[in-house]
Amino acid sequence: MNFRPLLTAILLFGAAAWATAAPERLVILHTNDTHSIIDPTDNDNRGGIARRKALIDSVRAAEPNVLLIDAGDVVQGSLYFNIYGGEVEQKLMNALGYDIRILGNHEFDNGVDSLAAVLSKADAQFLATNYDLSGSPLATMFEKYAVREIGGRKIGFIALNLNPTGMISEGNYDGVVYNDVIEVAEHTAWWLKHIEGCDMVIALTHLGYDPEVPPGDVTLARSSRDIDIIIGGHSHDTIDPSLPNTLDWRIPNADGRGVLVTQVGKQGKSIGEITVNLDDLSSSYRLIPVNSRLDKLSDPAIEAIIEPYRAGVDFLMRVPVGTTMVELPQTSAELLNWASDVVYDRGSLLSPDVDFAILNKGGLRRGLPKGTITEGQIKTMLPFANRIVVMDITGADLLPAFKQMAEIGGNGLSSQVHITYRPDSTDMRNSTVESVTVNGRPLDPSRTYRVATIDYLANGGDYMPSLKNHVTISRSTNVVYDDVLAYLRGLKGKARRIKPSSTPRFVPVK
């Protein structure tokens, strides 16, 4: 029998199969700004750590090369952090098997010493490229960059963080030195490509997509030459290529080459999936929702980790403290007006001649449902360890702060203040304040006003340094949520049924 035709057929079939075989690939799963959301959110039943684990496990079962990455702000946003200080989040991220993590600004909310103690329990590799941590307790826990060899390719990772000044409370990041993001990114990415021999450089960032105070991921992408992918966080933007009006996710770099830019919103409601073809280094990206379809795949081991912590959380979520006549969504004028008026009320107890109050809308981390509201909901809504302060400050120093508020589309004001501003539709950073009235009178730059606010803003937080030019009159001994709880418990009769004004106090003019 002549075996030559059969052998030829086998060889040809093998060659054809080899030619059409799928290329080896790397799958990167990534999260950002999960903010201590351990259980599914109570307003839309999305997210949840057990569901996230089920999704990650399913991808790992199907793909040989998987990396799990987080871009910061793992903590601050639920009672799990308020009560337990970050311990449960670290245990759960270990259980999920995160490979690489970076810092967010909220990691510093309890101070750098507390952060070091919490991160000492974490298993992932931590990166910080533009933060010099050598003078802090974090020094031995972080590396400047990482290189992973996968499928014959070398992939470099760098971590880029925002300037803490004006964003992180003073005293909470002692020993951390900020270095310019763009300069450090350019030098480190070049080193990884040309000295370490990396085929691809991926920047993990906690800067924001295009923040009011640059640089953000857009600026980074446009200025870079050696960065191929940016996995972002901080601004809570959801970049979803499947949606027609999503943010730009392929941004030309300094050489005109497209940089993939990703971000998955907040609270763990989605996971990003980047697929890198290791043959030609092309990449694709999609968002995978984390929802109830994953409940049937829940891992009992995850529930066993959470269970000892859940009792304390559930107890506070059942303690009634008041009633709302209407739902108060997180971003609503009603909630912002009500919270600002409460700051005014509590500030007036510290000093009876307060003119008005200001509050940052970013400090409100959840809404309130119609009907009974609980102690746990208030503590989750205002989770930060800020205190109400009363300060004297001139109108001239208030005006730059109001300009900054206009750049982010307004902020919280008590009922004594009305501001109009003209937004710039192409770049909100060019927005201008048109008018400011206090108790019906135009703001006088030469006059000193007595203002109630929180110490975070009084210290120049949210990029309002002119607010630091004040004289402190009084300071509450309570954190803000305890002052709000005291306010609610002190209401009598009909006042206990809250129905705040829906009239905006920071109004855009066309």
The tokens describing 328, both together, are 């108060």
Nearest-5° Cα angle at 177, 176 to 179: 140
Alpha-carbon span 58 to 54, nearest angstrom: 6
The tokens describing 460, both together, are 């120049």
> pTM for the complete prediction?
0.91
The tokens describing 148, both together, are 């992973």
With H, G, I as helix, E, B as strand and everything else as coil, classify residue 388. Answer: strand
Report pLDDT for 16: 43
Q: Which amino acid is at 176?
A: V
* 432: DSSP letter: E
* 416: DSSP letter: T
The tokens describing 245, both together, are 């009006």
Question: Do residues 30 and 41 make contact, with C-beta atoms less than 8 angstroms apart?
Answer: no
Cis peptide before 400 (omega within 30 of 0): no
With H, G, I as helix, E, B as strand and everything else as coil, classify residue 274. Answer: strand
Do the domains at 22-310 and 317-508 have one common CATH topology?
A: no
pLDDT tens string, the chain, 510 residues long: the values are 554 544 444 444 444 443 456 689 999 999 999 999 999 998 899 999 999 999 999 999 999 999 999 999 999 999 999 999 999 999 999 999 999 999 999 999 999 999 999 999 999 999 999 999 999 999 999 999 999 999 999 999 999 999 999 999 999 999 999 999 999 999 999 999 999 999 999 999 999 999 988 999 999 999 999 999 999 999 999 999 999 999 999 999 999 999 999 999 999 999 999 999 999 999 999 999 999 999 999 899 999 999 999 999 999 999 999 999 999 999 999 999 999 999 999 999 999 999 999 999 999 999 999 999 999 999 999 999 999 999 999 999 999 999 999 999 999 999 999 999 999 888 888 999 999 999 999 999 999 999 999 999 999 999 999 999 999 999 999 999 999 999 999 998 888 899 999 999 999 998
Question: Do residues 149 and 167 make contact, with C-beta atoms less than 8 angstroms apart?
Answer: no
Question: Do residues 45 and 291 make contact, with C-beta atoms less than 8 angstroms apart?
Answer: yes
Report pLDDT for 8: 45
Question: Do residues 70 and 32 make contact, with C-beta atoms less than 8 angstroms apart?
Answer: yes
With H, G, I as helix, E, B as strand and everything else as coil, classify residue 435. Answer: strand
Nearest-5° Cα angle at 460, 457 to 462: 70
Question: Do residues 372 and 320 make contact, with C-beta atoms less than 8 angstroms apart?
Answer: yes
Report pLDDT for 129: 98
Element (H, E) at 308: helix 300-316
Q: Is the dihedral of CA 54, 57, 61, 67 positive or negative?
A: positive
Helix (H), strand (E) counts: the chain? 13, 27
Alpha-carbon span 79 to 377, nearest angstrom: 9
**Would you kindly state where each structural domain of the chain is located, as residue ranges?**
22-310, 317-508
Q: Is the dihedral of CA 89, 91, 96, 98 positive or negative?
A: positive
Q: Which amino acid is at 146?
A: A
The domain made up of 22-310 is a member of CATH 3.60.21.10: yes
Q: Which amino acid is at 213?
A: V
Alpha-carbon span 200 to 299, nearest angstrom: 34
Tell me the CA distances in angstroms from 82 to 87, 239, 302, 377, one per residue in order: 11, 29, 20, 12
Tell me the CA distances in angstroms from 79 to 268, 350, 382, 455, one per residue in order: 16, 28, 11, 22
Find the distance separating the first CA and the last CA of the chain, reported in whole Å: 89
| Nearest residue to 192 via CA among 147, 256, 137, 133 | 147
Alpha-carbon span 267 to 437, nearest angstrom: 37
DSSP 128-150: -SSEE-TTSTTGGGEESEEEEEE
Q: Which residues contact 184 (CB under 8 A, 6 or more apart)?
A: 129, 130, 160
Alpha-carbon span 456 to 433, nearest angstrom: 23
**Which residue pairs from 424-431 have beta carbons closer than 8 angstroms and sit at least 24 positions apart in sequence?**
428/212, 429/212, 431/403, 431/406, 431/407
Q: Which amino acid is at 142?
A: F
What is the distance of C-alpha 63 from the center of its chain?
29
Q: How many C-beta neighbours within 10 Å does residue 325 have?
A: 11
Question: Do residues 347 and 388 make contact, with C-beta atoms less than 8 angstroms apart?
Answer: yes
Question: Do residues 314 and 306 make contact, with C-beta atoms less than 8 angstroms apart?
Answer: no
- If phi > 0 it is left, if psi is from -120 to 50 it is alpha, else beta; for residue 175 that is left
Element (H, E) at 420: strand 417-422
Q: Please name the fold of domain 317-508.
A: 5'-nucleotidase;  domain 2 (3.90.780)
Report pLDDT for 510: 80
Alpha-carbon span 108 to 39, nearest angstrom: 23
Alpha-carbon span 344 to 350, nearest angstrom: 10
| Nearest residue to 360 via CA among 431, 480, 489, 457 | 457
Report pLDDT for 13: 46
